[in-house]
């Protein structure tokens, strides 16, 4: 067996997996880790720490967890704490309520929510759909959010973060070969989960470009252009929207959402609405409208026909609990037979993390004004959201002062995606290194300033334009430093290459 050749090599592995890319954790972050190590080893650098503004990892950036959530979760993990005087009564009653919804009274179960639960059409599989009590609370939350529009807990699927739900729905939606292969429309710039999942599923990615000149808004004519072009070589069946936008931070107007729904209805497209930033809206005059709500307010010819799946998560907003992998999706007008298939599919994965389900239950069902935990909860939530709002405007303000950087207002979400002018000399320098120009730019920024951003090329951008994505998550002081350093860097970079 001296001539042993490996069974699994780059040549024999799944070619779709090879095509997967996920820039948010790409080479730039890899280099950041190395630099952190060099600093630890005492290597001299023009900076003393690497500041990571590359990923939306709130707590890692110092955002504090909500006390009420963590108190309830600690009791759910160790119910003996129910007798601990440190916890207010509402914390204890929430913990009791969640534990009672778990068969065996333990977070450690997977078959949660079934015993004694009303049997949904999909029957036993509801264990895998998530704890019934949590799905009921999610449904109430959605009804309240959407001004009373009905939500059926049986249309709620609890997920391990939003990514899990998005991947599951795309899995169901992709079929056909050659020209009948499913085409999926995604915004450019996009969040790379979409391109990565489409590559893995060998679906056809259809790019529609957001309009940077009008604050990353979505123009229906551009949707139509992309659709018609795509129809020449695939069968477009899905339209993905991220609102508020990642990486672009725009908040869609209600009018625009109506147009999109109208378009989806006319063109027979299944809508996927990624709404994980629904509580991250900062700009005056901007408001979050859920696709579900607008769909139903447009009347029965839409609300009874347009197929929609929308997604939410416990990882963003004021919670920022990425690590618990909590989330849900709501399906609307899903064919009942397909719904059964969906429930079957998720049952193979057994169940979403139960701690994430418990956390989600608290997010959709926070303390009421009359409850002892209410004041501190509101204080913590408002503080976090106010800080984010402040940082959002500061980010645009400072970056807009820099000649050669164009920065749209950060209306929502947690990112800015400014356009950067890269001098032709720098572009050629990058090409010599075989790097995308904005990768070249970000690498230099990292080496010279210790700031870790993600090049725009990882999200997609109009040819010949260059951007970076930066989170607004670092603490205000640190964020200001970051922005000033970027300013300084951009000026010297421009000089050097002009």
- Which residues are 207's β-sheet partners? 186
Min dist. Cβ of residue 340 to its own copies (A):
9
In order, the DSSP letters of 365-421 are S---TTSTTHHHHHHHHHHHHHHHHHHHHHHHHHHHTSTTEE-----BTTEE--EE-
Min dist. Cβ of residue 402 to its own copies (A):
27
| Residue of 321, 245, 250, 244 whose CA lies nearest to 290 | 244
Cis omega (within 30 of 0) on the bond before 247? yes
Min dist. Cβ of residue 34 to its own copies (A):
5
Cα–Cα distance for residue pair 262/275, rounded to 1 Å:
19
Min dist. Cβ of residue 181 to its own copies (A):
11
Strands 327-332 and 308-313: antiparallel
> In this chain, which stretch among 74-82, 282-290, 367-375, 439-447 interacts with its own copies, using CB under 8 A?
74-82
Structure tokens given for 270: 């299944």
Cα–Cα distance for residue pair 212/408, rounded to 1 Å:
8
Cα–Cα distance for residue pair 411/415, rounded to 1 Å:
9
Min dist. Cβ of residue 330 to its own copies (A):
15
Q: Return phi, psi of residue 112, to 5°.
A: -70, 150
Cα–Cα distance for residue pair 86/103, rounded to 1 Å:
27
User: Taking CB under 8 A as the criterion, which residues in 260-279 touch its own copies?
Assistant: 265, 268-270
| Residue of 422, 464, 424, 456 whose CA lies nearest to 439 | 456
Task: Between 1 and 221, name the residue whose CB sits nearer to its own copies.
Answer: 1
> In this chain, which stretch among 51-59, 286-294, 386-394, 424-432 interacts with its own copies, using CB under 8 A?
51-59
* Contacts (Cβ under 8 Å, ≥6 apart) of 348: none
Does 59 engage in binding with its own copies (CB under 8 A)? yes
User: Taking CB under 8 A as the criterion, which residues in 279-298 touch its own copies?
Assistant: none
User: Taking CB under 8 A as the criterion, which residues in 406-465 touch its own copies?
Assistant: none
- Residue 62 CA, distance from chain mean position: 19
Min dist. Cβ of residue 134 to its own copies (A):
12
Min dist. Cβ of residue 277 to its own copies (A):
16
Does 86 engage in binding with its own copies (CB under 8 A)? yes
Structure tokens given for 338: 């397909």
Task: Between 340 and 374, name the residue whose CB sits nearer to its own copies.
Answer: 340
Does 474 engage in binding with its own copies (CB under 8 A)? no
Task: Between 92 and 237, name the residue whose CB sits nearer to its own copies.
Answer: 237
> In this chain, which stretch among 67-75, 243-251, 279-287, 372-380 interacts with its own copies, using CB under 8 A?
67-75
Min dist. Cβ of residue 164 to its own copies (A):
8
Q: Return phi, psi of residue 68, to 5°.
A: -55, -45
Binding its own copies (rule: CB under 8 A), the pick from 213, 284, 337, 463 is 337
User: Taking CB under 8 A as the criterion, which residues in 148-167 touch its own copies?
Assistant: 160-161, 163-164
| Residue of 415, 419, 402, 409 whose CA lies nearest to 461 | 419
| Residue of 31, 36, 28 whose CA lies nearest to 468 | 28
Task: Between 111 and 404, name the residue whose CB sits nearer to its own copies.
Answer: 111
Does 22 engage in binding with its own copies (CB under 8 A)? yes
User: Taking CB under 8 A as the criterion, which residues in 348-387 touch its own copies?
Assistant: 348-356
| DSSP category for residue 203 | P
Min dist. Cβ of residue 346 to its own copies (A):
10
Binding its own copies (rule: CB under 8 A), the pick from 93, 100, 214, 341 is 341
Secondary structure class of 46 (helix, strand, coil): coil
Does 206 engage in binding with its own copies (CB under 8 A)? no
Does 57 engage in binding with its own copies (CB under 8 A)? yes
Cα–Cα distance for residue pair 437/468, rounded to 1 Å:
11
Does 84 engage in binding with its own copies (CB under 8 A)? yes
User: Taking CB under 8 A as the criterion, which residues in 225-244 touch its own copies?
Assistant: 237-238
User: Taking CB under 8 A as the criterion, which residues in 90-109 touch its own copies?
Assistant: 102-104, 106-109
For the chain, how many helices (H) and strands (E)?
18, 14
User: Taking CB under 8 A as the criterion, which residues in 115-134 touch its own copies?
Assistant: 115-119, 123-128
Binding its own copies (rule: CB under 8 A), the pick from 45, 297, 323, 385 is 323
Helix 437-449 and helix 424-432, axial crossing angle in degrees, nearest 10: 90
Does 476 engage in binding with its own copies (CB under 8 A)? no
Does 344 engage in binding with its own copies (CB under 8 A)? yes
Task: Between 11 and 463, name the residue whose CB sits nearer to its own copies.
Answer: 11
Cα–Cα distance for residue pair 71/59, rounded to 1 Å:
17
Does 204 engage in binding with its own copies (CB under 8 A)? no
């Amino acid at each position: 067996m001296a001539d042993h050749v490996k069974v699994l090599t780059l040549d024999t592995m799944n070619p779709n997996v090879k095509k997967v890319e996920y820039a948010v954790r790409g080479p730039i972050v890899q280099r950041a880790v190395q630099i952190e190590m060099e600093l630890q080893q005492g290597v001299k650098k023009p900076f003393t720490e690497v500041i990571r503004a590359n990923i939306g990892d709130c707590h890692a950036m110092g955002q504090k967890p909500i006390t009420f959530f963590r108190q309830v979760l600690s009791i759910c993990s160790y119910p003996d704490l129910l007798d601990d005087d440190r916890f207010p009564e509402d914390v204890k009653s929430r913990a009791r309520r969640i534990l009672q919804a778990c068969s065996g009274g333990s977070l450690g179960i997977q078959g949660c929510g079934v015993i004694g639960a009303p049997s949904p059409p999909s029957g036993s599989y509801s264990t895998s759909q998530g704890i019934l009590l949590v799905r009921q609370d999610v449904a109430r939350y959605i009804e309240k959010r959407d001004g009373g529009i009905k939500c059926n807990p049986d249309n709620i699927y609890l997920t391990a973060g939003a990514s899990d739900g998005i991947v599951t729905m795309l899995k169901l939606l992709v079929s056909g070969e050659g020209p009948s292969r499913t085409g999926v429309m995604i915004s450019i710039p996009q969040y790379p989960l979409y391109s990565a999942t489409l590559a893995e599923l060998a679906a056809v990615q259809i790019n529609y470009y957001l309009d940077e000149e009008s604050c990353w808004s979505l123009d229906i004519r551009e949707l139509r252009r992309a659709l018609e072009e795509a129809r020449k070589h695939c069968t477009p069946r899905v339209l993905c929207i991220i609102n508020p936008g990642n990486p672009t931070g725009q908040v869609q107007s209600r009018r625009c959402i109506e147009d999109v729904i109208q378009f989806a209805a006319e063109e027979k497209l299944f809508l996927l609405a990624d709404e994980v930033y629904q509580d991250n809206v900062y700009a005056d005059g901007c408001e979050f409208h859920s696709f579900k709500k607008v769909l139903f307010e447009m009347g029965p010819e839409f609300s009874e026909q347009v197929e929609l799946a929308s997604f939410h998560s416990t990882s963003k907003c004021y919670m920022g609990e990425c690590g618990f992998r909590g989330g849900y999706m709501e399906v609307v007008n899903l064919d009942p037979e397909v719904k059964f298939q969906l429930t079957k599919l998720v049952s193979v994965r057994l169940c979403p993390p139960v701690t994430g389900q418990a956390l989600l239950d608290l997010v959709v069902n926070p303390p009421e004004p009359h409850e002892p935990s209410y004041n501190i909860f509101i204080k913590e939530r408002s503080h976090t959201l106010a800080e984010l709002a402040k940082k959002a405007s500061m980010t645009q303000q400072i970056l807009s002062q820099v000649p050669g950087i164009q920065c749209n207002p950060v209306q929502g979400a947690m990112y800015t995606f400014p356009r950067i002018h890269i001098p032709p000399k720098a572009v050629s320098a990058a090409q010599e290194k075989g790097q995308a120009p904005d990768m070249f730019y970000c690498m230099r920024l990292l080496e010279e300033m210790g700031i870790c951003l993600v090049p725009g090329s990882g999200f997609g951008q109009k040819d010949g334009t260059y951007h970076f994505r930066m989170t607004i998550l670092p603490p205000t002081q640190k964020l200001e430093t970051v922005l000033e350093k970027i300013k300084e860097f951009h000026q010297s970079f421009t000089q050097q290459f002009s």
